[in-house]
Amino acid sequence: MFKPLIVGLSGPILTHDEIDFIQAHQPWGFIIFARNVETVDQLYALTAHLRELTNRIELPILIDQEGGRVARLKAPEWPKFPAAGVYGEMFEASPDMAIEACQLGHQLMGQELYQLGIRANCAPCCDLRQPDTHDAIGDRAFGDTVDAVTRLAQAALGGLAMSGVAGVVKHMPGQGRATADTHYDLPSVSASVTDLHDDLAVFEAIVDQVPMGMTCHVVFEAYDPHLPTTISPTVISEAIRMRIGFQGLLMTDDLGMDALGGSLATRGAKALAAGCDVLLHCSGFVKDPVAILKEMEEVADAAGTLSGIALERASAAETACQAPIEFDQNAASARFGELMAKMEARA
**Cα–Cα–Cα angle for 88, 200, 149, nearest 5°?**
10
User: Which helix (H) or strand (E) covers residue 67, if one does?
Assistant: strand 65-67
Query: Checking DSSP bridges between strand 166-172 and strand 279-281, what pairing results, if any?
Result: unpaired
Distance CA 124, CA 50 (A): 25
* pLDDT tier at 20, thresholds 50, 70, 90: very high
Q: Residues 103-133, buried b or exposed e (16+ Cβ, 10 A)?
A: bbbbbbbbbbbbebbbbbbbbbbbbbbbeeb
pLDDT of residue 5: 98
d(CA 199, CA 86): 20
Q: Is the pLDDT of residue 347 over 80?
A: no
- Confidence band for 97, pLDDT divided at 50, 70 and 90: very high
Distance of CA 8 to the CA centre of its chain: 13
Q: What is the pLDDT of residue 342?
A: 86
Q: What is the mean pLDDT of residues 161-177?
A: 97
Report which of residues 138 and 343 the model is more confident about.
138
pLDDT at 330: 95
Report the residue count for the chain: 347
Collapse the DSSP code of 65 into the 3-class scheme (helix H, G, I; strand E, B; otherwise coil) and give the result: strand
pLDDT exceeds 90 at position 329 = yes
Residues with a known catalytic role: 183, 253
pLDDT of residue 322: 78
For domain 3-346, the CATH architecture is Alpha-Beta Barrel (3.20)
Closest CA to 337 of 65, 80, 40, 160: 80
CA dihedral 130, 133, 139, 142 (to 10 degrees): -30
323 pLDDT more than 90: no
Answer yes or no: is pLDDT of 345 > 90: no
Q: Is the pLDDT of residue 344 over 90?
A: no
Measured CA distances, 37 to 3, 128, 264 (Å): 25, 31, 26
The answer to whether residues 154 and 210 touch, using CB atoms and an 8 Å cutoff, is no
Return the H-helix or E-strand segment holding 339. helix 329-346
**Across residues 103-121, what is the average pLDDT?**
97
DSSP 8-state secondary structure symbol assigned to residue 195? T
Q: What is the pLDDT of residues 31-79, one digit of tens each?
A: 999 999 999 999 999 999 999 999 998 899 999 999 999 999 999 999 9
> What are 243-298's pLDDT values in tens digits?
999 999 999 999 999 999 999 999 999 999 999 999 999 987 788 899 999 999 99
Domain boundaries defined on the chain: 3-346
Distance CA 280, CA 252 (A): 5
246 in Cβ contact with 202 (< 8 Å): no
